[in-house]
């Protein structure tokens, strides 16, 4: 299995252990793709997962460029539009964009979540 796919599995497990409900994995539309969409405490989180074996190319979150953020925002808008009636939303529901970094060291995953990574 490729490191990116494994990172998404480990990130989803991390979120579920913390009480999040995964609403969607690899949501794709013409605007782009979102790795994970999760829900907890009246908040829908759009999550980009980045995985690395080492820091040779910098922190994984640095790969979430302004262009990538724009695609994620557009994809999130489409997700909300297309699934609004099926989502656990109400007047107090919040939305945020997180980045989860997954580091693989000695065969073990270390997961770090950056909440509100961008607007």
d(CA 26, CA 84) in angstroms, rounded, equals: 18
- E-strand ranges in the chain read 21-29, 32-40, 43-52, 94-105, 108-118
Structure tokens at 92: 């107090």
Q: What residues pair up with 28 in beta bridges, in sequence order?
A: 33
d(CA 58, CA 64) in angstroms, rounded, equals: 12
Model pLDDT for residues 18-60, shown as the tens digit of each residue: 999 999 999 999 999 999 999 999 999 999 999 999 888 889 9
Model pLDDT for residues 76-105, shown as the tens digit of each residue: 999 999 998 888 888 899 999 999 999 998
Q: Which pLDDT belongs to residue 40?
A: 97
What secondary structure letter does DSSP report for 60? G
| Terminal C-alpha separation, the chain | 32
Q: Which pLDDT belongs to residue 101?
A: 97
Domain definitions of the chain by residue range: 3-118
d(CA 119, CA 46) in angstroms, rounded, equals: 11
Q: Which pLDDT belongs to residue 54?
A: 83
Q: Which pLDDT belongs to residue 25?
A: 98
Per CATH, the number for 3-118 is 3.40.1350.10
């Amino acid at each position: 299995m490729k490191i990116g796919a494994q990172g998404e599995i480990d990130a989803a497990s991390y979120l579920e252990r913390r009480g999040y409900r995964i609403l969607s994995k690899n949501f794709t539309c013409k605007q782009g793709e979102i790795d994970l969409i999760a829900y907890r405490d009246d908040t829908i989180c759009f999550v980009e997962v980045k995985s690395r074996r080492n820091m040779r190319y910098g922190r994984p979150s640095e790969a979430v460029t302004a262009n990538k953020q724009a695609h994620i925002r557009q994809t999130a808008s489409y997700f909300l539009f297309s699934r609004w009636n099926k989502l656990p939303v109400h007047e107090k529901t919040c939305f945020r964009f997180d980045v989860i970094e997954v580091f693989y060291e000695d065969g073990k995953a270390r997961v770090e979540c950056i909440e509100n990574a961008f607007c």
